[in-house]
């Protein structure tokens, strides 16, 4: 942990939906978001980290919420369970105190950090964006669908309208950061990233937020791991419809709120 902090690194955390014995609860249709948060300090019983955010806005996590966490040093990964203990400060200047782990478990290299914990990482439909200005109307439709779901639980059937895009390729959402997402793309699909750096993303948040999170993203960096999968850092772009920023933030907030309520009900 000290080494990670000294290098300005961080943790990846996900909400723990609850366990039965030693096995994660399986919830049909669930999808699990993972956040990258910077490790700011190490105290006797706590890890001090920055709050999780969605496109620059902090996301509230209730005290006592159980978490699954992972750290990475080079090619080595470790995982552990924790919980949020407290929070101080306000907004993006706040810090969270997480329960320090009693022990950590090394991840097998053939697994990702979180798939060994049974978390269902969200699937992403990626499309090369041919005309960035064509995103405005689809984003407005998404905003209307989110509003309808939050008001009365209505969920639109079928695919949302799309802007002018090229052929689809799949990815997995590995983490959500302050201004974008980290994607994993299988080797057979990775060539798509070399053809277009601007993408239309449709992120499946599962039954906790059944309206897909749709947004324009720009690929800002890529790397290839030992299994030849490509990890792409993608920054959200709201240039043509700044109001869509609020829709994305609200979708993530509602997702987190619903997962926490479901986990509390399961624990009860």
40 within 8 A of 5, measured Cβ to Cβ:
yes
CA 124, CA 236: separation in Å to the nearest integer? 14
Q: Would you say residue 86 has pLDDT above 90?
A: yes
Q: Find the range with the poorest average confidence among 46-60, 61-75, 233-247.
A: 61-75
In a shared domain, residues 147 and 262: yes
Which two structure tokens, joined as six digits, stand for 223? 């790397």
Q: Would you say residue 3 has pLDDT above 90?
A: no
Q: Would you say residue 116 has pLDDT above 70?
A: no
201 within 8 A of 124, measured Cβ to Cβ:
yes
CA 129, CA 49: separation in Å to the nearest integer? 35
CA 235, CA 216: separation in Å to the nearest integer? 8
Q: Would you say residue 91 has pLDDT above 70?
A: no
Residue 25 is predicted with a pLDDT of 42
Count of positions (residues) in the chain: 268
pLDDT in tens, 250-262: 999 999 998 888 7
* Structural domain of 94: 2-117
Q: Would you say residue 10 has pLDDT above 50?
A: yes
In a shared domain, residues 133 and 257: yes
CA 168, CA 102: separation in Å to the nearest integer? 44
Q: Find the range with the poorest average confidence among 153-157, 205-209, 211-215, 264-268.
A: 264-268
CATH number (domain holding residue 142): 2.40.10
Q: Would you say residue 111 has pLDDT above 60?
A: no
Which DSSP letter does residue 243 get?
A: T
Q: Would you say residue 87 has pLDDT above 80?
A: yes
79 within 8 A of 68, measured Cβ to Cβ:
yes
Which two structure tokens, joined as six digits, stand for 123? 């699937």
Of 94, 117, 140, the one marking the end of a domain is 117
Residue 174 is predicted with a pLDDT of 92
Q: What is the mean pLDDT of the chain?
A: 86
pLDDT in tens, 122-172: 999 999 999 999 999 999 999 999 999 999 988 877 778 999 999 999 999
61 within 8 A of 260, measured Cβ to Cβ:
yes
In a shared domain, residues 157 and 258: yes
Mean pLDDT confidence for 55-70: 89
191 — phi, psi (to 5°)? -60, -25
Nearest to 68 by CA among 79, 54, 53: 79
Residue 22 is predicted with a pLDDT of 41
Residue 20 is predicted with a pLDDT of 37
In a shared domain, residues 104 and 198: no
CA 11, CA 46: separation in Å to the nearest integer? 13
Of 99, 117, 135, the one marking the end of a domain is 117
pTM metric for this prediction: 0.87
Beta bridge partners of 173: 183
Nearest to 67 by CA among 116, 11, 2, 109: 11
In a shared domain, residues 113 and 128: no
């Amino acid at each position: 942990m000290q080494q990670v902090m000294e290098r300005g690194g961080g943790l990846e955390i996900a909400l723990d939906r609850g366990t039965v014995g030693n096995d994660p609860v399986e919830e049909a249709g669930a999808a699990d978001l993972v956040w990258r948060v910077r490790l700011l300090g190490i105290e006797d019983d706590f890890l001090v980290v920055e709050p999780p955010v969605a496109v620059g806005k902090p996301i509230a996590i209730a005290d006592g919420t159980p978490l699954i966490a992972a750290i990475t040093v080079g090619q080595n990964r470790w995982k552990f369970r924790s919980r949020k203990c407290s929070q101080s400060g306000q907004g993006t200047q706040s810090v969270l105190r997480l329960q320090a782990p009693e022990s950590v478990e090394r991840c097998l290299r053939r697994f990702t950090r979180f798939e060994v914990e049974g978390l269902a990482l969200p699937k992403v439909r990626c499309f090369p964006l041919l005309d960035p200005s064509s995103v405005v109307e689809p984003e407005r439709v998404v905003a209307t669908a989110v509003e309808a779901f939050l008001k009365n639980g209505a969920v639109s059937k079928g695919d949302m309208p799309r802007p002018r895009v090229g052929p689809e390729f799949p990815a997995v959402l590995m983490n959500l950061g302050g201004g974008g997402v980290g994607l994993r793309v299988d080797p057979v699909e990775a060539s798509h990233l070399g053809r277009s750096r601007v993408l239309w993303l449709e992120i499946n948040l599962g039954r906790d937020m059944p309206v897909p999170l749709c947004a324009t993203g720009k690929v800002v960096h890529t790397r290839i791991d030992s299994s030849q999968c490509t990890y792409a850092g993608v920054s959200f772009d709201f240039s043509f419809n700044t109001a869509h920023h609020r829709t994305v933030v609200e979708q993530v907030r509602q997702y987190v709120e619903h997962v926490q309520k479901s986990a509390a009900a399961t624990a009860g």
